[in-house]
Amino acid sequence: MFRDTLRKMKIALAQLNYHIGNFDSNVRKIKDVIARAKEQNADLVIFAELTVCGYPPRDFLEFEDFITKCNESVEDIARECTGIAAIIGAPATNSNEKGKPLYNAAYFLRSGKVESVHHKYLLPNYDVFDENRYFEPAGSVSCIELEGTTIAVTICEDLWTYGNENLYSSSPMDELIKERPDLIVNLSASPFDYRHMEERKATFSNCARQFNLPLIFVNHVGAQTELIFDGGSFVLDSSGKMTNQLKMFEEDFQILDLNNPGNESSVQQYSKLELIHDALVLGIRDYFTKSGLKKAILGLSGGIDSAVTLALTSSALGKENVTALLLPSKFSSDHSVADAEQLCRTLGCPYEKISIEEINETFEKTLKPYFKDLPPDITEENVQARIRAVLLMGFANKFGHILLNTSNKSEKSVGYGTMYGDMAGGLAILGDVYKTEVFELAEYINRNEEIIPQNSIDKPPSAELRPDQKDVDSLPEYDILDKILFEYIENRNGPKELVEMGFSKELVNRVLKLVNMSEYKRFQAPPILRVSSKAFGMGRRMPIVGKYLS
């Protein structure tokens, strides 16, 4: 399981929440953990990928001053490493004349200085990753020697060949294993999606078994706008079994006792809904705290989406920091207003109620001479949605709130929303959660007591912009629609495959056409908290004016 030389070492794992470009905060956290590990007589403390600057730094990496601050921070941290060693992540300058100007690197710090630098070998360039834009791949790899132990240092993607053998033709472990390491260490910035933890475990377990070596995986935790990092750092023995796991969605620190390792039965298991719930709460909280914001506002309709958004945000920011605006019209049912008020009372959130009817009548009167005798259509519905957005933004501006967008992934997929109306906001909370999942999330929130009114869960979804309106008037039933969307968006199955799955050709073409024609709307939508393997935003890049099924 663990070799004798390794058992003699005390290794600390540091799972921290970093803030991109906030060098003072990041360095302080790293130094505090080094001091803590030193107090507990640790020999080595391991941090995550690009810890010094935060991940992903994106085009900040193109600024000379940013790289200078990275280098100065590494030197500052190195001075703390006396009587202890550390492995931290930071960019490294490429001194060669050719290639990208930087490496994604792991720095080995000991005796108050940088002892060696180890470059990332495999650079991901898919989904949310575009590391080839900034970094040069490692030209060579080497192990670290510490206290008689040989450590193979890898950085995130370097080990993902053991989960997807077809993605790369080689792995740095092919070279590192020649140095006969006792341990594999992986510094990661592995973003969350609700299926990813199991994929990680399988991938790294395959690697540990293949080389018959224990493996330590240290991940980021926290959110960086769209991307959420779930933590969950772990240790595997040489058979690929998990012996230790750090907390999910929280900062954590652990000194490993390799003489008395844990076992897989002690590792906490999480349901899909628990993961999504906790990820969204963390995503909301970090978006606000890292942006220096405190208060949020949203339109509360009495429907399921805004109800779940309010419940999540109340958990993230505190009930006193989330204001709900109830904006009924003549099409709003009495129970919708009552349900919204009941939710606010249950959560203890402040709310105001403003009828939009008089404002809407003024718009109709103003526009009537220009619309002449044209019959009412979606135009009048969109005007109502935009009136609500104006009122919400008025409150947001006046009181320093951020407007939350409450649209779900099903609606965003097919363009079932009003630009500059219900699509407005600074952050989309449910934009990566399908409508059927929103209902499941509501039930999860109500697992111990009724928080979201049962009527909000039971009633047929409706925008309530015309008499007796229902979502099914415009869309397929959500349980069918979401299955098609999931196969098309997450699994990238095209129309031929969808028809072979049993969906009618007419329905498939209708849904896919709606998705592809709505790209221009999503391009102008707020950032979305990513919880699936394929979210709208930085990980899904589609042409706005493409002609594929449009």
pLDDT of 367-410, one tens digit each? 999 999 899 999 999 999 999 999 999 999 999 999 999 999 99
Residue 1 has pLDDT above 70, yes or no: no
The 3-state secondary structure of 159-185 reads HHHHCCCCCCCCCCHHHHHHHCCCEEE
For the entire predicted model, the pTM comes to 0.95
- Return d(Cα 168, Cα 187) in angstroms, integer: 19
Higher-pLDDT residue of 464, 513: 513
pLDDT at 167: 78
Token pair 């590494």: residue:
74
Q: Which of 156, 207, 344, 349 is catalytic?
A: 156
Structure tokens at 524: 């102008």
pLDDT at 2: 64
pLDDT at 471: 73
Strands 227-230 and 296-299: unpaired
Q: Which residue type occupies 245?
A: Q
Residue 469 has pLDDT above 80, yes or no: no
**What whole-number percentage of the chain has pLDDT above 90?**
86
* Element (DSSP H or E) covering residue 114: strand 113-119
CA distances from 308 to 335, 342, 475 (A): 17, 13, 22
Secondary structure (3-state) at 466: coil
Q: Which of 120, 409, 435, 534 is catalytic?
A: 120
Strands 227-230 and 234-236: unpaired
Residue 537 has pLDDT above 90, yes or no: yes
CA distances from 211 to 148, 170, 191, 280, 432 (A): 19, 15, 26, 37, 37
Beta carbons of 120 and 157 less than 8 angstroms apart:
yes
Instruction: Report the half-sphere exposure of 151 (CA within 13 A, side-chain side).
Output: 28
Instruction: Determine the straight-line distance between the first and last CA of the chain, rounded to whole angstroms.
Output: 57
The 3-state secondary structure of 289-307 reads HHCCCCCEEEECCCCHHHH
Helices and strands of the chain, counted as H and E runs: 17, 19
Q: What is the mean pLDDT of residues 471-493?
A: 92
- CB burial of 27-60 (b: ≥16 within 10 Å; e: otherwise) equals bebbbebbeebbeeebbbbbbbbbbbbbbbbeeb
At residue 118 the predicted structure's pLDDT band, cuts being 50, 70 and 90, is very high
Q: Tell me: the pLDDT tens digits for 206-261? A: 999 999 999 999 999 999 999 999 999 999 999 999 999 999 999 999 999 777 77
Q: Tell me: the pLDDT tens digits for 279-292? A: 999 999 999 999 99
List the domains of the chain with CATH numbers: 4-269 (3.60.110.10), 276-523 (3.40.50.620)
Beta carbons of 339 and 455 less than 8 angstroms apart:
yes
Beta carbons of 230 and 246 less than 8 angstroms apart:
no
Q: What is the mean pLDDT of residues 354-372?
A: 95
Kindly report whether the peptide bond that precedes residue 527 is cis, defined as omega within 30 degrees of 0.
Answer: no
Q: Which of 49, 136, 157, 411 is catalytic?
A: 49
pLDDT at 226: 96
At residue 329 the predicted structure's pLDDT band, cuts being 50, 70 and 90, is confident
DSSP string spanning 34-77?
HHHHHHTT-SEEE--TTTTT-S--GGGGG-HHHHHHHHHHHHHH
Higher-pLDDT residue of 339, 548: 339
- Return d(Cα 480, Cα 472) in angstroms, integer: 11
The reply to whether 49 belongs to the active site is yes
pLDDT at 450: 96
Instruction: Report the half-sphere exposure of 420 (CA within 13 A, side-chain side).
Output: 6
